[in-house]
Chains A and B, each alone.
Chain A
Amino acid sequence: MKDLFFIGTIPWWAIVLIALGALSALALQFFSLKPRLSGTRSALLILLRGMVFALLIFLLLSPALLERKTTKLRRPLALLLDTSQSMGFAANSDSTQGGAKPRSRLDLAKEKLLSGKEPLIQQLGREYDLRIYQFGNGLAPVGADTLPQLSAQGRGTRLLEALGEASGQIGDRGALLVFSDGIANSDIKSAEDLPSFPVPIFPVGLGETQGFIDIRVADLKVPEFAFRGREIKIDFALEAFGLAGRAVPIYLNRGQNLLSSRNISIDKDTFTQRVTFSYTPKEIGSHSFTLTVPLQPGEQISQNNQQQFKIEVQRDKIRILTLSGAPSWNYRFLRMALKQDPSVDLVSFVFLRTPTDSVDVPDNQLSLIPFPIDELFLEEIKNFDVIFMDDFSYRSYFNTLYLEKVRDFVRDGGGLAMLGGARSFDSGGYGESPLREVVPVEMNGRGTYQTGASLRATLTPPGKAHPITRLLPDPRANEEAWKTMPYLTTLNQVVRGKGETLLMAAPEGASGGTPLLTVGRYGKGRTLALMTNDLWRWNFVAVGGRESPQNHLKLIRQSVRWLAQEPSFEQVQIQPVGDSNAPGEKMDFKVRVLKDDFTPAEHARVRLRIVGPEGEPMNLEALAATEPGDYRTEFIPTREGSYRLEAEAQLSGKPLGKDRRSFRVAFPYGELEDGRPRPELLKAIAEKSQGQFIPASEWNEKSLERISAKLEAQSPSQIVEQRQIQLWSNLWFFSLILALLCIEWWLRRKWGLV
């Protein structure tokens, strides 16, 4: 198809003047011919000349032909299929009925795309430049042939981010067809926060809001840490949809043990109630808890009926048990030091009376209480962190069975300190008891308790760096502090120290000496042996010498913390691990390793073991960092859940210790928490992008035609190609003018005018 139009390069008034000039010329010519020719012949010649003038004036108007050619293009269309975990939920309540596996939202999407005489995916491929993507946390292209194999595994739905990315890839003339349930758990979740979209989006909404049946444990608020013996609150919201009139139980379990339960009556179809459980942890460590609501009939989502969480139970105070064989100044000042320490909870037993002592009054006039042997050693021992045996001999009070319990207590991680005296070490019969292997000194059954000496305590090389004997931060000042400590008058002889001897006792001015303070390990626990009951002299006698009692107090405070394995007194310390990592994000673990003398261990072998949410172990080796004693490694978690990190270090084959921390890996949103479809978000997206929302239930053969029509109305897919042909340079016009002039010339010649 061609259209004539004038380009008009010469102004119109010039054309009019030229036309008037031409008419004038024709009139003059007619009147000049009239006397010489007949009127008919004159008119014929004037007509021929007028036609020439008319053609020339026509050409002065710059005539041109516009040629149009129409081409239809295939519009780009991105098909986005949501493969996040929520798409694995049942498509509707009907699909949960019966015993068969319910049809998921993703199954429904696949059905819409792949079933029928000519599947939708084929129609789209025929009519559009089709690109197919799946999205969850990110956007990924997929082939049409792989659609049947897609599964709902995405840990999150970054819906809006995926739409933005696909819009950018598809170009301005494209469109997006999105199959999704509308659950978006990225930073942008609501319609109000929507960005503008450059292309129309046609969301197909999967999942039903009407008849949606679900109950879930939501908005869980629990402390990450709790203190042993202190009540904690476990607060959460119970949300229910479509379950009005039912009463449901909620169970709180620790591991397999039921801790508490409650019945909640649901009185509305959309129901929310906050529920709080109280729980008092009694054992230290990392404990897993579960909140469970049983699956209700017709419920579409079972995954959100349960919430698991971990609480790290710590001691708020170090619980210490002291057993003293008799009232003594050592007990008096030990008690004073422990009572002054706000982080210590002290339970002490002092044997005020021996079996050989007689009293002159009935028992009810004595304040003595029975020694609760069974309760203490069989039941309560596990609740203590450290036991002090202060000049205490078991032989007068119980048999070795109970000492075996003490041994087990230490083996399982407790701390044991044996302080000297006439009832301690060999003098207390421990050289032949189950504690012989536990106490960090070697006893041969013949060690004696000596009094009347004047002994000075001297630091050994390990003692100079050990946290127990580090009274002052400066090493030299620390050594000086030890030199000024009052002399001791009593000593329990032992064969040798089995662990690290931190202090030696020697007469004034003498070198060497015998072990005075030795520390060691037994199983998971720590042990300390102080071969004197004159510890109190480092307090009160020092005060008499105008010194501070602080050295005594600090020694006890540091001993207690070391025995209780306070983190700052560990040789292997995992540096704090953040708890906000998402799967796929790199985590950096740092471990500090110290030698037995608490100097940095530079050539240690540091192994890390990470136990994942399902209990799957992963082993890593940490490498030395730039700082001496520091070791680092990296880890990329792949799944959400609670992880436990264990670090173990060895130096020349000798274990230096272990540390353990737990951390949680989670997306900043919960894909499985709330499975309600969000058609309102999809509608808002469609409106904002000038697309159209189509519920999956309303999708039919006409839907695609409607989409095409809407797209066509917005921007036609036919492209018209136009070509301009200028006529002034056309040969036919030139020939026609030339022919008219030639005829005129021939007639003039014939009629004798030339």
Chain B
Amino acid sequence: MDRRSFIRMLSYGLVGSAFTARRLGAAEQEGKARPIQFVFAQMRYRGGDWNPHPLAITPLMEELMLRTSVEAATARQEMELKNPNLFSHPFLYIAGKYDFDPFSQEEIEVLRRFLSYGGFLLADDALGQPGYGFDKSFRQQMKRVFPEKEFTRLPSGHAALRSYYLMRRVGGTRMVRPYIEGITLGNATPVIYCQNDLGGAWERDQLGNWVNSCSPGGEEQRRDAFHLGINLILYAMTENYKEDLIHVPFIRRRLSR
């Protein structure tokens, strides 16, 4: 798309926005009855600590609904790998601090099938000690799931970092790694792993206070954690949508500013 087309398209978009404002009432009316489109499923496993931040998900879901068109269940769905309803929730979150028991062979096969056919797994290390605790166990288990695959650092242009926000940084309660890693199968990255304790940054108590502080970036780092959470959910639901040709020139233009 050339410059002229871009300007014209932008102007169309503005026209669309103006019209949208007039229709706001109708949209709000529709919004009331919106059924849930997204359920945040969290994996419950044996051993270790599968639930380091019990209050982390609701703030993320609220943020998701506030910022995007996704209607989500505010409460998470706890899910074991053997749960027959596992495949009703293509987005799966695994978090932890410590070593956990190895998955059974059946669980490994279920997880492989889940990830190979369109499921998505977000892994979050709450301990933040590379090579220890959750990090060690999780990497071992993923090696069993995909023996031929390695975790690789996702490039800054990866669709997961552009699915909603144009992310230049990743967040979390600490900055163990300034990037996220993933296992890529074909054109998709069904496993994304963050070691910066995203859940800790999302967690808020029932009075609305943040449970954990974020360092060294403070609230900006927390905001990056929410942005990353939203991006990863949208990436799971839209795959490489933001790598479609129609998006590329816009994104490139905005990132160059």
- Is A375 touching B164 in the complex (CB atoms < 8 A)? no
Tell me if B15 counts as interface (CB < 8 A to partner A). yes
Tell me if B244 counts as interface (CB < 8 A to partner A). yes
Least CB separation from B110: chain A residue: A544
Residue from the list B31, B66, B69 in contact with A327, Cβ < 8 A: B69
Question: B-contacting residues of A (Cβ < 8 Å)?
Answer: 325-329, 331-333, 335-336, 339, 346-348, 350-361, 364-375, 393, 395-399, 422-423, 427, 429, 449, 451, 490, 536-537, 539-541, 543-545, 549
Chain A neighbourhood of B113, CB < 8 A: 543-544
Chain A neighbourhood of B66, CB < 8 A: 357-358
Chain A neighbourhood of B76, CB < 8 A: none
Residue from the list B37, B164, B254 in contact with A328, Cβ < 8 A: B37
Given contacts A328-B37, A356-B27, A375-B8, contact A347 B244 (CB under 8 A): yes
Given contacts A352-B234, A361-B165, A366-B164, contact A372 B67 (CB under 8 A): no
CA A329 to CA B117, docked complex, whole Å = 13
Least CB separation from A327: chain B residue: B237
Tell me if B20 counts as interface (CB < 8 A to partner A). yes
- Is A540 touching B119 in the complex (CB atoms < 8 A)? yes
Tell me if B87 counts as interface (CB < 8 A to partner A). yes
Chain B neighbourhood of A359, CB < 8 A: 67
CA A136 to CA B218, docked complex, whole Å = 96
A637 → B minimal CB distance (Å)? 46
CA A329 to CA B41, docked complex, whole Å = 14
Chain A neighbourhood of B187, CB < 8 A: 339
- Is A354 touching B241 in the complex (CB atoms < 8 A)? no
Q: A356-B31, A544-B84, A544-B113 are in contact. List 6 more A-B contacts (CB 8 A).
A: A327-B38, A347-B244, A353-B69, A365-B254, A367-B250, A543-B117
CA A328 to CA B257, docked complex, whole Å = 31
A661 → B minimal CB distance (Å)? 34
CA A398 to CA B15, docked complex, whole Å = 9
- Is A364 touching B254 in the complex (CB atoms < 8 A)? yes
CA A395 to CA B38, docked complex, whole Å = 23
Question: A-contacting residues of B (Cβ < 8 Å)?
Answer: 5, 8-10, 12-17, 19-21, 23-24, 26-28, 30-31, 33-38, 66-71, 84, 86-88, 90, 113-114, 117-119, 162-166, 187, 223, 227, 234, 236-239, 241-242, 244, 246-247, 250-251, 254, 257
- Rank and list the top 4 A-B pairs by shortest CB-CB distance, nearest first: A370-B13, A544-B87, A327-B237, A326-B69
CA A23 to CA B236, docked complex, whole Å = 144
Least CB separation from A358: chain B residue: B66
CA A463 to CA B119, docked complex, whole Å = 31
- Is A332 touching B239 in the complex (CB atoms < 8 A)? yes
Residue from the list B5, B12, B114 in contact with A371, Cβ < 8 A: B12
Chain B neighbourhood of A356, CB < 8 A: 24, 27-28, 31
B17 → A minimal CB distance (Å)? 8
User: Which interface residue of A327, A360, A364, A372 has the most chain B CB atoms within 10 A?
Assistant: A327
Could you list some 24 contacts between A and B, CB below 8 A? A326-B70, A327-B69, A329-B37, A331-B237, A335-B241, A346-B244, A358-B66, A366-B254, A367-B163, A369-B246, A370-B10, A371-B12, A374-B15, A396-B23, A397-B19, A398-B19, A422-B30, A449-B35, A539-B117, A540-B90, A540-B119, A541-B88, A544-B113, A549-B118
- Is A540 touching B241 in the complex (CB atoms < 8 A)? no
- Is A544 touching B20 in the complex (CB atoms < 8 A)? no
Number of A-B contacts (CB under 8 A): 179
- Is B30 touching A332 in the complex (CB atoms < 8 A)? no
- Is B26 touching A395 in the complex (CB atoms < 8 A)? yes
- Is B69 touching A351 in the complex (CB atoms < 8 A)? yes
CA A665 to CA B166, docked complex, whole Å = 60
CA A398 to CA B239, docked complex, whole Å = 26
- Is B14 touching A370 in the complex (CB atoms < 8 A)? yes
Chain A neighbourhood of B239, CB < 8 A: 332, 335-336, 339
Chain A neighbourhood of B118, CB < 8 A: 332-333, 336, 539-540, 543, 549
Given contacts A365-B165, A422-B30, contact A332 B223 (CB under 8 A): no
A100 → B minimal CB distance (Å)? 56
B231 → A minimal CB distance (Å)? 9
Given contacts A331-B238, A332-B90, A539-B118, contact A369 B33 (CB under 8 A): no
CA A449 to CA B36, docked complex, whole Å = 12
Chain A neighbourhood of B86, CB < 8 A: 544
- Is B70 touching A327 in the complex (CB atoms < 8 A)? yes
- Is A540 touching B87 in the complex (CB atoms < 8 A)? yes
CA A422 to CA B29, docked complex, whole Å = 12
- Is B238 touching A423 in the complex (CB atoms < 8 A)? no
CA A346 to CA B114, docked complex, whole Å = 25
Chain A neighbourhood of B34, CB < 8 A: 422
Chain A neighbourhood of B114, CB < 8 A: 543-544
B113 → A minimal CB distance (Å)? 6
- Is B37 touching A350 in the complex (CB atoms < 8 A)? no
Chain B neighbourhood of A372, CB < 8 A: 9, 12-13
Residue from the list A351, A353, A355 in contact with B24, Cβ < 8 A: A355
Chain A neighbourhood of B16, CB < 8 A: 370-371, 373, 397-398
Chain A neighbourhood of B241, CB < 8 A: 335, 348, 350
- Is A329 touching B90 in the complex (CB atoms < 8 A)? yes
CA A543 to CA B110, docked complex, whole Å = 10
Given contacts A331-B238, A393-B30, A543-B113, contact A352 B13 (CB under 8 A): no
- Is A332 touching B236 in the complex (CB atoms < 8 A)? yes
Chain A neighbourhood of B237, CB < 8 A: 327-329, 331-332
Least CB separation from B247: chain A residue: A369
Chain B neighbourhood of A397, CB < 8 A: 16, 19-20, 23
- Is A422 touching B33 in the complex (CB atoms < 8 A)? yes
Least CB separation from A351: chain B residue: B69
Chain A neighbourhood of B21, CB < 8 A: 355
B120 → A minimal CB distance (Å)? 9
Least CB separation from B120: chain A residue: A332
CA A165 to CA B130, docked complex, whole Å = 98
CA A360 to CA B86, docked complex, whole Å = 33
Least CB separation from A372: chain B residue: B9
Given contacts A423-B30, A540-B90, contact A327 B234 (CB under 8 A): yes
CA A329 to CA B88, docked complex, whole Å = 10
A33 → B minimal CB distance (Å)? 145
A352 → B minimal CB distance (Å)? 6
CA A541 to CA B27, docked complex, whole Å = 31
Least CB separation from A452: chain B residue: B35
Chain B neighbourhood of A399, CB < 8 A: 19
- Is B250 touching A369 in the complex (CB atoms < 8 A)? yes
Chain A neighbourhood of B71, CB < 8 A: 326
A321 → B minimal CB distance (Å)? 11
CA A545 to CA B88, docked complex, whole Å = 11
- Is B9 touching A364 in the complex (CB atoms < 8 A)? no
Least CB separation from A324: chain B residue: B238
CA A26 to CA B105, docked complex, whole Å = 150
- Is B9 touching A357 in the complex (CB atoms < 8 A)? no
- Is B15 touching A373 in the complex (CB atoms < 8 A)? yes
Chain B neighbourhood of A451, CB < 8 A: 35-36
- Is A367 touching B70 in the complex (CB atoms < 8 A)? no
Chain A neighbourhood of B13, CB < 8 A: 369-373
CA A335 to CA B237, docked complex, whole Å = 10
- Is A357 touching B68 in the complex (CB atoms < 8 A)? yes
- Is B234 touching A374 in the complex (CB atoms < 8 A)? no
A532 → B minimal CB distance (Å)? 12
- Is B27 touching A354 in the complex (CB atoms < 8 A)? yes
Residue from the list A325, A332, A368, A544 in contact with B238, Cβ < 8 A: A332
- Is A541 touching B87 in the complex (CB atoms < 8 A)? yes
User: Which interface residue of B37, B164, B246 has the most chain A CB atoms within 10 A?
Assistant: B37
Least CB separation from B163: chain A residue: A367
- Is B27 touching A395 in the complex (CB atoms < 8 A)? yes
B78 → A minimal CB distance (Å)? 17
Chain B neighbourhood of A423, CB < 8 A: 30
Chain A neighbourhood of B236, CB < 8 A: 332
CA A325 to CA B68, docked complex, whole Å = 11
CA A331 to CA B238, docked complex, whole Å = 7
User: Which interface residue of B38, B68, B236 has the most chain A CB atoms within 10 A?
Assistant: B68
Given contacts A332-B237, A335-B241, A350-B238, contact A374 B67 (CB under 8 A): no
CA A53 to CA B227, docked complex, whole Å = 152
